[in-house]
Structure 1
Amino acid sequence: MSDPLSDVVRLLHPGAAFANIISGKGNWAVRYSEYGLPSFCIMLEGSCLLQVDGHAPVTLRAGDFILLPATPAFTLSSFVPAPPVFLDPFSVASEQGELRYGDQDGHPEMRSLGGAFIFDCADPGLLVSLLPKVVHVRGSTRLSQLVEMVGEESAEQKPGSAFMLSRLAELLLVEAMRSVATGSAPPGLLQGLADERLARALKQMHAHVEYAWTIDELAKAAALSRSVFFVRFTRRVGMAPMEYLLAWRMKIAKDLLRDNELSVTTIAERVGYSSASAFSVAFSRHVGLPPGRYARSLSAE
């Protein structure tokens, strides 16, 4: 049986992750401009205040993990207000070594590991659509260990580091998604997977995306009546079952077109269309471009 969560992570193509030690002492504040890409932070010791634009302030303590799927502008600070230092996240991403805020001397009162993911995918908005805008996980030993390994690989750059970082990025994403699947996730795949009945239907759709599914068959897989299944699926996943199936097929098709290894006819068969023309019509309606032109637009980037 297919694992939809693993399918999503594979489709994201996490290329790497990087991380820097961030520390602070005394009264300090740093203001990061909008980054637009997924970033994370885990508190190693001490505590500080995180204020993400548009969200209530969050107190971070040792062991806490934060994931910002789209990383809007935010402020990180001590609890006593201080004039913020303005930073460009793209410049910080290229720096090596520890970033120290506030008093530069003595043992820091706060240490964290902050970094970002680098994706190589045709649908960068996929992760943003699955998660809340601020993912806050408290006391996850597994996430702490994974981020620590990311920090070590980023700093040491041993042979094989690129491969290790891409695998660690995948593991971090899966752990972060698991942590919110039953809690604060917005309507979408994670909420659907948290529902045992709906998860059965979702797994069937992902395992056999080429099959001509009907509502009745999916409802049977979920052991629900047709009407209850439709309402429950739409509420938890945020779209009707056939709409979700179409969207997932188009995500797979975009990924296959991006690879530029298969013909449009073969891709059409892979995602459940009996002809290239039927697939082209559906793809054009969903994406806004015919498959061939979409593939050429990716190669031109």
Structure 2
Amino acid sequence: MADPLSEVITLLQPGTVFSKGISGAGRWAVRYEQFGHPSFCAVLEGACRLMVDGHEPLTLEAGDFVLMPATPGFTMSGFEPVKPKKMDPSVSASMTEELRHGTQSGPPDVRLLGGYFVFGSPDAALIVSLLPQLVHVRGEPRLTVVVQLVGDETREHRSGRNLVLARLAEVLLVEALRSATGATASPGLLRGLADTRLSAAIRQMHENPARSWTVEQLGKEAALSRSAFFERFSRAVGVPPMEYLQVWRMALAKDLLRRNDLSLAEVAERVGYSSASTFSTAFSRHVGQPPARYARSH
């Protein structure tokens, strides 16, 4: 049976990881503008505030983990009001020592391990659109262990470091995303997979992308009427079912085109289009360039 979460992460190709220790004491606040790369943070001890653009403020406590697959703008702070200091994530990541905010001496009020990694897929934005913008996990020690391993591997320049970090990035993503699967997750693939009815339809879309699906057929897979399925899917996943299917088909098509070992007609057939011309029209409309040109440029 298809495993949509694993397939999405495999296509994203998580790789290079940057991480560092961060601490804060007294009055402090830092502001990061929209970054684009996926970022993560584990709270090792203490507590702080996190305000992500477009979301309710969060109080982070020891044992909490946060993942932002596309990292919108956000502010992190202590609990006393102060004007945020603007930060450059690329400069912060290049620093080797722990990054300290607020009062520089004495014990910190909070200690974190934070960082970001890079998706190898040139089409990461398309696939990331299927994931929630913000993942907040509480009480999952496995995640903290993985983050600590990432921090240790980042600091030490051992043989095989890049390969280990790439694998740890995959594990970090899987652990974070499946820990956040539930009815309380923000709209996206995770929330859809948490719904037993919707999950059956999503797995079918991933297992049989070439099939000429209709909303009615997908509704039958979910044991729901057409209208009930459409409404429930759109609410949980954040997009209508056929739009989700098209995004997934285009992600698969791009991956197949980059491999350059299939004809256009074969790619079209594998992702559910009756002819190369029909596929070419749909691909051009969705991606902004014909599939043949996309394949040459990648």
TM-score scaled by length of structure 1: 0.88
Tell me by how many angstroms 1:127 deviates: 5.5
In structure 1, what is the equivalent of residue 122 of structure 2?
A: 122
Tell me by how many angstroms 1:184 deviates: 4.1
Instruction: Tell me the distance in 2 between the aligned counterparts of 1:239 and 1:103.
Output: 45
Distance 1:221 1:158, change over 3 A: same
Identity percentage over the alignment? 59
Which structure 2 residue ranges, 5 or more long, are not aligned?
A: none
Instruction: Tell me the distance in 2 between the aligned counterparts of 1:136 and 1:35.
Output: 18
Amino acid at match of 2:252: I
In structure 2, what is the equivalent of residue 200 of structure 1?
A: 200
Distance 1:262 1:116, change over 3 A: same
In structure 1, what is the equivalent of residue 247 of structure 2?
A: 247
Q: Secondary structure at the match of 1:232?
A: helix
Instruction: Tell me the distance in 2 between the aligned counterparts of 1:102 and 1:81.
Output: 12
Q: Secondary structure at the match of 1:130?
A: coil
Q: Does 1:232 align with 2:241?
A: no
Tell me by how many angstroms 1:72 deviates: 3.0
Deviates more, 1:9-18 or 1:46-55: 46-55
Distance 1:218 1:80, change over 3 A: closer
Conserved? CA contact 1:35–1:90, under 8 Å: no
Give CA-to-partner distance per residue, 1:199-236, whole Å, 9 cap, x none.
11211121121223344443332233344333433333
Give CA-to-partner distance per residue, 1:129-154, whole Å, 9 cap, x none.
23443322222112111111111111
In structure 1, what is the equivalent of residue 285 of structure 2?
A: 285
Give CA-to-partner distance per residue, 1:72-123, whole Å, 9 cap, x none.
3333222233454432111112222311223333443321001012101132
Instruction: Tell me the distance in 1 between the aligned counterparts of 2:2 and 2:33.
Output: 39
Amino acid at match of 2:244: Y
Deviates more, 1:231-240 or 1:8-17: 231-240
Distance 1:238 1:81, change over 3 A: closer
TM-score scaled by length of structure 2: 0.89
In structure 2, what is the equivalent of residue 109 of structure 1?
A: 109
Amino acid at match of 1:189: L
In structure 2, what is the equivalent of residue 166 of structure 1?
A: 166
Tell me by how many angstroms 1:249 deviates: 0.9
Deviates more, 1:5-14 or 1:101-110: 101-110
Tell me by how many angstroms 1:35 deviates: 1.8
User: 1:15-94 counterparts in 2 under 5 A?
Assistant: 15-82=15-82, 84-94=84-94
Instruction: Tell me the distance in 2 between the aligned counterparts of 1:157 and 1:137.
Output: 30
In structure 1, what is the equivalent of residue 267 of structure 2?
A: 267
Q: Secondary structure at the match of 1:181?
A: coil
Aligned residues: 298
User: 1:127-146 counterparts in 2 under 5 A?
Assistant: 128-146=128-146
CA RMSD of aligned residues (A): 2.3
Amino acid at match of 2:188: G
Distance 1:263 1:234, change over 3 A: same
Q: Secondary structure at the match of 1:159?
A: coil
